[in-house]
Amino acid sequence: MSDKKEMTGDVYFPTPEVVQSAHIPDYDKVHDEATADLPGFWGKIAAENFEWYKPWNQVLDDTNAPFYKWFINAKVNIIHNALDRHMRTATRNKAALIFEGEPGDTKVYTYQQLNYEVCKFASVLRAMGVEKGDRVTIYMGRIPELMIAMLASAKIGAMHSVVYGGFSTEALLGRIEDSSSKLLITCDGAWLRGKTVDLKEIADKAVERAGSIQNVIVVKRTNQEVGMVAGRDHWYHDLMALPIASATAATEVMDAEDPLFILYTSGTTGKPKAILHTHGGYMVGTATTLKWVFDLKPEDVWWCAADPGWITGHSYIVYSPLINGATSLMYEGAPTFPYPDRWWQLVEKYGVTILYTAPTAIRGLMRFGESWPNRYDLSSLRLLGSVGEPINPEAWRWYHRVIGRENCPIMDTWWQTETGNFMITPLPSAPLKPGSATRGFPGVQIDVVDEEGQPVGINEEGFLVIKGPWPAMLRTLYKDPDRYVETYWSRYSKQGWYLPGDSAKKDEDGYIWVIGRIDDVIKVSGYRLGTAEIESALVSHPTVAESAVIGIPDELRGNVIHAYCILRSGVEKTEQLKLDLKDHVGEEMGPIAKPTVINLVDSLPKTRSGKIMRRVLRAQTLGQDVGDLSTLAD
Ligand code: PRX
Cα of 438 vs centre of ligand 1, distance in Å, is 14
Which residues does residue 60 pair with via DSSP β-bridges, in sequence order? 70
Atom 8 of ligand 1, residue of closest alpha carbon: 416
Is 312 a pocket residue for ligand 1 (Cβ < 6 Å)?
A: yes
415 ligand 1 Cβ < 6 A = yes
CA distance 554 to 534: 18
Q: How far is the CA of 388 from the centre of ligand 1 (A)?
A: 4
Is the omega angle on the peptide bond into residue 373 within 30 degrees of 0, that is, cis? no
**Pocket residue to mutate for ligand 1, from 514, 522, 559, most atoms within 8 A of Cβ:** 514
Q: Residue 13 gets which letter from DSSP? A: P
Q: Which residue, by CA, sits nearest to atom 25 of ligand 1?
A: 414
Distance 46 CA to ligand 1 centre (A): 26
300 lines ligand 1 (CB under 6 A): no
609 exposed, middle or buried (CB, 10 Å; 0-12, 13-18, 19+)? exposed
pLDDT of residue 608: 83
Q: Does residue 417 line the site of ligand 1, with CB under 6 A?
A: yes
Specify whether the backbone of 577 is left (phi greater than 0), alpha (psi in -120 to 50) or beta: alpha
pLDDT of residue 628: 78
CA distances from 534 to 121, 276, 388, 616 (A): 36, 23, 20, 19
Cα 426 to averaged position of ligand 1 atoms, centre (Å): 15
The answer, yes or no, to whether any atom of ligand 1 lies below 6 A from the CB of 505, is no
Question: Is residue 517 in contact with ligand 1, taking CB distance under 6 Å?
Answer: yes
What single DSSP character describes residue 352? Answer: -
Kindly state if the Cβ of 464 falls inside 6 Å of ligand 1: no
Alpha-carbon distance 414 to 333, whole Å?
25
Return the residue whose CA atom lies nearest to atom 26 of ligand 1: 414
Own/partner long-range contacts of 624-632 (Cβ < 8 Å, ≥24 apart): 631/607, 632/605, 632/606, 632/607
Q: Best of 415, 463, 517 to mutate for ligand 1, by most ligand atoms within 8 A of CB?
A: 415
Cα of 408 from ligand 1 centre, angstroms: 22
The neighbouring-strand residues paired with 424 are 414, 440
Q: Please give the model's pTM, rounded to 2 decimal places.
A: 0.95
| Atom 13 of ligand 1, nearest CA residue | 388
413 within ligand 1 shell (Cβ under 6 A): yes
What are the angstrom distances between the C-alpha of 614 and each of 534, 551, 562?
A: 14, 9, 11
Residue by residue, what is the 3-state secondary structure of 85-98? HHHHCHHHHCEEEE
Residue whose Cα lies nearest atom 24 of ligand 1: it is 390
Distance of CA 89 to the CA centre of its chain: 31
Residue 416: C-alpha distances to residues 29, 329, 337 (Å) = 26, 23, 29
Minimal-distance CA residue to ligand 1 atom 4: 388
Quick one: pLDDT at residue 88?
98
Supply the pLDDT for residue 1.
Answer: 47
| C-beta of 500 in contact with ligand 1 (< 6 A) | yes
Closest C-alpha residue for ligand 1 atom 22 = 389
Half-sphere exposure of 82 (CA within 13 A, CB side): 33
Query: Separation of 586 CA from ligand 1 center, angstroms?
Result: 23
Ligand 1, atom 5: nearest CA belongs to which residue? Answer: 416
Distance 514 CA to ligand 1 centre (A): 9
Mean pLDDT by 10 residues, the chain (634 residues): 71 93 94 98 98 98 98 98 98 98 98 98 98 98 98 98 94 95 97 96 96 96 97 98 98 98 84 94 98 96 95 98 98 96 98 97 96 98 97 97 97 98 97 98 98 97 98 97 97 98 97 93 91 92 95 94 96 97 94 96 89 89 84 72
Rounded Cα distance, 508 and 457, in Å: 10
* Ligand 1 within 6 A of CB of 416: yes
* CB 238 within 8 Å of CB 204: no
Q: For ligand 1, what atom is nearest to the CA of residue 514?
A: 23
Q: Which pLDDT value is given to residue 2?
A: 45
The rounded distance, in Å, linking the Cα atoms of 526 and 545 is: 30
Q: Is the CB of 145 under 6 A from ligand 1?
A: no
